[in-house]
Structure 1
Amino acid sequence: MLHRRTFLTGGASAVALSSVLRHTASAAPGDAAYVMGYFTESPNRVADRYALHLAVSLDGLTWTPLNQGNPVATPTAGTGGLRDPHIIRKQSGGFAVLATDLTGTDFTRQNQYIHAWDSADLRSFTGYRRLRMHSMPTHTWAPEAFWDPARGQYGILYSANSGGRDAFHVNYTTDFVTVGSPQLFFDPGFNVLDGTVHTHNGVNYLYYKSFVDGRLYGARSSTLNPRSFTTYTAGVVTGGIEAPIVVKANDRNEWFLWGDSFSPVNGELYAWRSGNIATDSWTPLTKDRYTQPLNAKHPTICPITRAEHDNLLSHWGAPTWNRLKSYNYPDHLIRHQDNAARIDPYPFDPYQDSQWRLVPGLASSSGVSFRSVNYPDRYLRHSGYAITLAAPDGSATFNADATFTRVAGLADGSWSSFRSHNFPDRHLRHAGYVLRIDPISTASDRADATFQVGY
C-alpha cells in the first residue's frame, strides 16, 4: 500500500533479483522464469491504473511488461479497483490472484473485503469474487497467501487495524472461496504493514514494514502458527519504503528483498541482496542491476516455468516500444522535453516522453531511428550536434541526422551505443544531462555514450 503515513501514524503511518518468490512455497523443479503482478501510478497521476498488470522475466532483473503495459484483469465489484496484487501457485495447479479492494488513495476507507480470481495459466482469469475477511470497522490491505503444510491449508495474511494499531491477521482456506474466521497473526505492539512470508530449510520468515522507524524488518519462526514469529533483523532501510517481497534464486542460495516507495512522486522499486537469509545482512543493489516495469507499484513475484513464460509472452505480447537507461546514471532515462532530448531520473510525467520505437533508420535500414511514442510524427535527430525531437521535412539531410548505427556499448559490451550515420566519428551521448553527438575518447565519454535498451 502507498501514501498511508498520515492515516496510520495518527494510529501509525525495493527490484531486483536473480530469481524470485513471494509466497512460502519454494520454487518448483523446472521453474526458470518469473511473473510479476502490479498496479500502476506515476507522479502526476497520468499512469494511475488500479488493475492487474503483468510482466515476465527470465533472470528476475530484466522485465518485459505484457499487453503493452495495459491491465490484464480489472475488478468489477467493490471499489472497482485494486492495489497490492498477489499471485500464488496453488498446490493443485494453476494460480490464485488476490488484491486489496481499493482504487485511488482514499486510505481512510473501511473495507472488509479483498478481490480474488482463479487462473489456470495467467492468460485468462475466472471466478472473480470478493472474499469477506472480517467484520471489523477497518481496512483489509495487502493480502498475501502462503501454504501451511501442517494445516493442509493456505493462510491469507493481511493488514487490519485492531486494538488501535495495524497488525497482521490471517484467515485459512483450502480453495480461496470459503475462508475461516480471522486470527491475529503478528502484533509486535506497534503499527506494522505489508507482511510477506517465505520458508527456507524449515524456517519461516516474515518480513514487514515497521512504523516505529520506517524500516523493513524480518521475523522468523520454526512454525507458521499465528503469533509465533520473533524479529531477528535490525532494520534493512530507513524511511519511505514499504511492501517488502522476499525472493530466492531458483538455483542457488541467494535472496533479494524488494521494497516500494510510499509515493508515486518517488514511485520506484528498490532491492537488496543477501547470501544467507538466516543472517541480518542485506546489501543494496544499484539500478544498473535491474529495471522495474514502467510505473509498477507494490508488485508480487511468482516463479514460473520457461514454458509458462513463453506462453505468457506469446499470448499477451511484448511492448512495441523501448526505454533507454543511462550507463553511468542508471536511474536516468532518455526522454524528450519541449522537443529537446535529455536524460532525467525516473519516474517522471508524462512518462510517455521516455518511450521510443526503434525503427529502421530513415537513411539506412541497417541503422535505427528513434520515433517518439507520444509524438509519432517526430524523431530524434541531431542539429548542430545537439539532439532534438522534430518531424521529418522529407530531406535526405534530416533522414541522415535521424539515423544511428547501434553498436556494442562503448563502456560495457552488453549495453549499447549509437554512432551517428552521417558523422561516424561521433556517438550519441549525454553531457550535462543533455543529449548530443560528440567524438568519444575518454572513459567518461564512453560511459556517457552507453545505454541499455529495455522496457
Structure 2
Amino acid sequence: MPHPSRRLILGLAATAPLAATGALTLGAGTAHAADSAYVMAYFTESTTMLEANYGLHLAVSTDGLRWMPLNQNNPVVTPTLGAGGLRDPFILRKQDGTFVVMATDLKGTDWTRTSVNIHVWDSADLRTFTGYRLLKLHDMTTTHSWAPEAYWDAGRGQYGILYSSVNSSGHNVIMVSYTTDFKTTTNPQVFFDPGYDVIDGNLTVGVNGVNYLYFKKDQTLVGARSTSLNPGSFTPFSTPVAHGGTEAPTVVKSLTSSTYYLWGDTYTPNGVFYAWQSTNLAAGTWTALDQRLYTQPLNSKHCGIQPITSAQYDNLVAKWGAPAWNRLKSYNYPARYVRHSSYVGRIDEYPFDPYTDSQWKLVPGLADSSGVSFQSVSHPTRYLRHYSYNLRLDVNDGTSSFAADATFYRTAGLADASWSSFRSYNNPTRYIRHSNFVLRIDPISTSTEQQDATFSVGY
C-alpha cells in the first residue's frame, strides 16, 4: 500500500519441512514436494492510470522469475462488496490443499479510507472462486486493514492473518488476527511494533528453527527474526535494502536451488519490481539480482505468490489462456522495452504510458512465413519495418517491398543464445539493434553491438 502503508511483492517458493504433514513451507504460503511452478495474484496500475484495474489478476511462471499474465492481463474476478475493488492480493494454499485469496478492501488510492474488513475468496483450483465475502479482522474503525497475508501457526492450530493498522500511538504496526476458517477471526493483537512506523509484513516460517519477518521501514526493506511465532517476539536484525523508495517485501525460496529472493516494489503508483538474493537468511544481507533474470507481469502491482504443481499450472493456462501479445526486453538495458513512440521504434524504460505501445503480436513474416513480423497491438494496421535502416511503425500498404522491410528471422541471441536476435529478411547482413535507444538495422560485429541486438521475448 502507498504511504503510510503500501506494498507490492513478487517471489519464488519454499522448501523447508513442516511438522508431520509432509508439506514444505517458506513464507506465508505452503509448498509441497510436487510443486514445480508458481501463481501470482496482483492488481494493475500504470503511470497515467490508463491501466488501473482493481480486480484479481493472475500470472504463472515455471521459474518464479519470468511471469506470464493470464486472461490477457484482465481480472479473473472482481470484488463487489466494500469499496468494490482490491489491492494487495495474496494467495495461500491451506492445510487441506485448497486455496484462499485475500486482499485489501480498497479501490484506487484514497489512503484515508478505513475498513475493518478484507476481501476473501475460496478456491479449489484458482480457476473458480467461491464463497466471496468480507472478513472482519478487528474493531478499530478509525484505521485500516492493509496488505493481508496469512500463514499456518502449527503450535496454535490456527492461521494467522498479518495486516497493517495504526496503533494508539499513531504509527503503523503489523497486526495479527487468528482464524480456522477465514470466515471469522479472533484475538486481534499487535504482532510487531518496534516503536516506529512499519508496514507490509511478510513472514517466512521455519528456516533452521527461525522465523523471519520482513517489512517496510522508511521506504527500505528490513528483516526481523524470532524462534517463535508469538506476537511481540520478533527483533529487527538485517541490513536495509532499497532501490529508491522501496516497499512490499516478500522473501521466497527457489524450488530448485538454495537461493532466497527478497522482492520489493518502488514507491510510486507505477511500481517496478526489484529483487535481491541470498543463500543465507540468517546473514541478513542481500545482493541485487540482475534485471535480465526477471520480468514482472505488465503493470502488475502488489503481488502475492503461491507455489503450485505442473498440473495446476497447465490447468490455469488452459482455463485463462496465454497472452496474444509479447513484450521485448533489451539485453544490455534490461529496464527498457521495445516500443513505438510517434511511430518511431525505440527502447524506453518501463513503466510508461500508453503501455500498449510496447505490446506486439509476433505474426508469421509478411514476406516469408518462416520469419516474423511485429504487428502493433495499439495500431493493428501498422507493423515495425525498416526504412533507410531506421525502424518505424507504418501502415501495411500490401506491397511486396513493405512486406520485405517488415520481415525478420528470429535467431539465437547474438549476446546470449537463450535470448533472441532478429535478422532482416531483405538485408540479411543486418540485425535489429538499438542505437541511442532508437531501433535500426545494422551489421553486427562488436560485443556492444551484439548486446544492442539481443532481446528477450516475454510478457
Tell me whether the two structures share a fold, i.e. TM-score over 0.5: yes
**Larger deviation: 278-287 or 368-377?**
278-287
C-alpha distance in 1 between matches for 2:424 and 2:197? 56
1:319-350 residue CA offsets vs partner (Å, 9 max, x unmatched): 01000000110000000011110000000000
- In the alignment, which residue of structure 1 is the partner of 2:151? 146
Aligned to 1:172: 178
Is the aligned partner of 1:115 residue 2:119?
yes
Structure 1 match to 2:242: 237
1:133–1:179 CA contact under 8 A, matched in 2: yes
Pick from 198, 209, 212 the counterpart of residue 205 of structure 1.
212
1:61-110 CA-to-partner distances (Å, cap 9, x unmatched) read 11111001000111011000000001000101210000000001000111
Match of 2:19 in 1: none
In structure 1, the partner of 2:321 is: 317
Q: Residue 124 of structure 1: SS of its match in structure 2?
A: coil
Query: Counterparts of 1:27-46 in structure 2 under 5 Å?
Result: 27-46=31-50
| Match status 1:448 vs 2:452 | yes
Find out whether 1:435 has 2:439 as its counterpart: yes
User: 4+ residue stretches of structure 1 with deviation over 6 A?
Assistant: 12-16
Question: Are residue 359 (structure 1) and residue 366 (structure 2) matched?
Answer: no
Provide, for residues 341-383 of structure 1, a one-character-per-residue CA deviation record: whole Å limited to 9, x for no partner. 0000000000000000000000010110000001111000011
* Cα contact 2:9–2:250 (8 A) shared by 1: no
In structure 2, what is the Cα distance between the partners aligned to 1:201 and 1:251? Answer: 18
- Cα displacement string for residues 381-423 of structure 1 (whole angstroms, at most 9, x for unaligned residues): 0111110101111211000000001111111111000000001
Q: Which residue in the other structure is 2:263 paired with?
A: 258
CA contact (8 A) 2:199 2:217 kept: yes
Stretch moving more, 166-175 or 24-33 = 24-33
d(CA) in 2 for partners of 1:105 and 1:16? Answer: 21
Shift of 1:26: 4.6
For 1:40-439, list aligned pairs within 5 A: 40-136=44-140, 137-163=142-168, 164-199=170-205, 200-211=207-218, 214-237=219-242, 239-265=244-270, 267-439=271-443
- Cα pair 2:104 2:119 within 8 Å, conserved: yes
2:385 is paired with a residue whose SS is strand
1:17-69 alpha-carbon deviations (Å, 9 max, x no partner): 66468743552111111111101110010111011101001111111110010
**Structure 2 residue identity aligned to 1:168:** I
Give the secondary-structure state (helix, strand or coil) at the position aligned to 2:356. Answer: helix
Give, in angstroms, the shift of residue 165 of structure 1. 0.9
Structure 2: tracts of 5 or more residues without a match: 15-24
Decide whether the 8 Å contact of 1:14 with 1:257 is kept in 2: no
Identity %: 59
Aligned residue identity for 1:365? S
Q: How far is the alpha carbon of 1:240 from its aligned partner? A: 1.0
CA distance in 1, matches of 2:244, 2:452: 32
Q: Distance in 2 between matches of 1:417 and 1:15?
A: 31
Shift of 1:252: 3.3
Structure-1 separation of matches of 2:380 and 2:358 = 13
Q: Distance in 2 between matches of 1:443 and 1:16?
A: 32
For residues 83-142 of structure 1, give each alpha carbon's deviation from its aligned partner in whole angstroms, at most 9, with x where no partner exists.
000100010121000000000100011111110000000001100000111121111100
Cα distance, 1:142–1:14 mapped onto 2, change above 3 Å: closer
* Structure 1 pair 43–238 and aligned structure 2 pair: CA distance change class (3 A): closer
TM-superposed CA distance for 1:236, in Å, is 2.1
Corresponding letter in the other structure for 2:273: L
Match of 2:22 in 1: none
Aligned pair in 2 of structure 1 residues 296, 218: CA closer, same or farther (>3 Å)? Answer: same
Q: Distance in 2 between matches of 1:326 and 1:19?
A: 27
TM-score, scaled to structure 2? 0.94
- Contact 2:360–2:376 (Cα < 8 Å) also in 1: yes
Cα separation, 2, equivalents of 1:359 and 1:370: 6
SS at match of 1:171: strand
How many Å separate the matches in 1 of 2:107 and 2:303? Answer: 16
In 2: Cα distance, 1:84 partner to 1:378 partner = 37
The residue type paired with residue 169 of structure 1 is M
The Cα offsets for residues 302-322 of structure 1, whole Å up to 9 and x where unpaired, read as 111111111111111100100
Q: For the residues of structure 2 that align with 1:100 and 1:40, how far apart are their CA atoms?
A: 14
The change in CA–CA distance for 1:177 and 1:18 in structure 2 (over 3 A counts) is closer
Seen in structure 2, the aligned counterparts of structure 1 residues 238 and 447 have a Cα distance that, compared at 3 Å, is closer
Match of residue 28, structure 2, among 9, 24, 29: 24
8 A contact 2:12–2:307 mirrored in 1: no
CA RMSD of aligned residues (A): 1.6
In structure 2, what is the Cα distance between the partners aligned to 1:363 and 1:86?
Answer: 46
Deviation of residue 286 (structure 1)?
Answer: 1.8
Offset of 1:278 from its aligned partner? 1.1
Unaligned runs of 5+ residues in structure 1 are none
Matched-pair contact (CA < 8 Å) for 1:22–1:300? no
Whole-angstrom distance in 2 between the partners of 1:24 and 1:347 = 29
Q: Number of residue pairs matched?
A: 446
Measure the CA separation in 1 of the matches of 2:89 and 2:28: 16
3-state SS of paired residue (1:181): strand
User: Residues of 1 paired with 2:56 and 2:204: CA distance?
Assistant: 23
Instruction: Please tell me whether the aligned partners of residues 14 and 241 of structure 1 are also in contact (alpha carbons under 8 angstroms).
Output: no
- State the TM-score, normalizing by the size of structure 1: 0.95
